[in-house]
A and B are shown apart, each in its own frame.
Chain A
Amino acid sequence: MSATDQLDELFGALASAPRRDIVTALTEGPVTTPQLGERFGFSKQALNRHVRELERCGLVRRRLDGRVHTLALEPDRLAPLTEWASLIATAWEANLDRLGAVLDEASRSRSNPPPESSSS
């Protein structure tokens, strides 16, 4: 799967407030499905649907202990998302650095013209 596909899948899975709530809850540690259902007032069906979506992109892992389903977060799976986000930040920092250099250069050549232009 390409990095772009991975991102699409992650963004898709997280483009839902209930699923973000589930992921946020799981950052505190593994939780059983009845606990989650109670905490957020999800029906069993709704909870299952959201969990399946999160499992599909690998963000959440489900473990069966007898009849109890325990959900745990796989935080490493978020890496493509955070990498992508930090690329944006890095790109803007680099842009603003380069813009500064271009502006400095232009003001230097205005106040102190380089030899080739002043010799003419």
Chain B
Amino acid sequence: MTTTHSATFTRTYSAPPERVWAAWTDVAVLARWYGCAVDQLWTIHTWDVRPGGELHVSMDFDGTPFVVDGTFLDVDEPTLLRYTFGGEQVITVAIAAHPQGSTVTITHDGLPSEAMVDTVTGGWSNSIEQLADAVAASV
């Protein structure tokens, strides 16, 4: 059995949960920010936000289209969105009300990484912890 790894990212925004929800579910808005790299956005082909609904996104990878398919697992407006994203990866978006607006927590599960990666390199898990610390300090 493959052991998988998950990564969590948290941000607090001044917008209320309903607006954050709209930014995740309204394709016109989503297409303006949802990407796979610092400078590359996904092209959203299908984004059918309902349990069992499908999603298809793609990007141009040096002239070759790179396509990712997935399925929405949980849809609970405006607090929870969970979808598969290519193979075993599952992305959970939790949106919670916060005195300043809302807190968004992304959990990216099913990453085929192992605990030993941390042991060997210290790199990835450290950077996630640093990110968490930086987020905590900036909130």
Contact = CB atoms under 8 A, between A and B. Distances in A.
Interface of A: 11, 14-15, 17, 20, 23-24, 27, 73, 75, 78, 81-82, 85-96, 98-104, 106-107
Contact of B108 (A17, A24, A92, A100): A92
B9 A101 contact: no
B119 A27 contact: yes
A96 B112 CA distance: 23
B120 A85 contact: no
Contacts of B139: none
Given A99-B104, A106-B15, A107-B14, A91 B36 contact: yes
Most buried by A among B14, B39, B113, B116: B116
Contacts of B104: 96, 99
A89 B128 contact: yes
Contacts of A73: 120
Given A20-B116, A98-B35, 12 more contacts: A20-B3, A24-B116, A24-B120, A81-B113, A82-B121, A86-B127, A89-B124, A93-B131, A94-B37, A103-B23, A106-B19, A107-B14
**Of A23, A85, A87, A90, most B-chain CB atoms within 10 Å:** A85
Interface of B: 1-3, 5, 7, 9, 11, 13-15, 19-20, 23, 29, 32-39, 104, 106, 108, 111-117, 119-121, 123-124, 127-128, 131
A69 B33 CA distance: 53
A102 B27 CA distance: 13
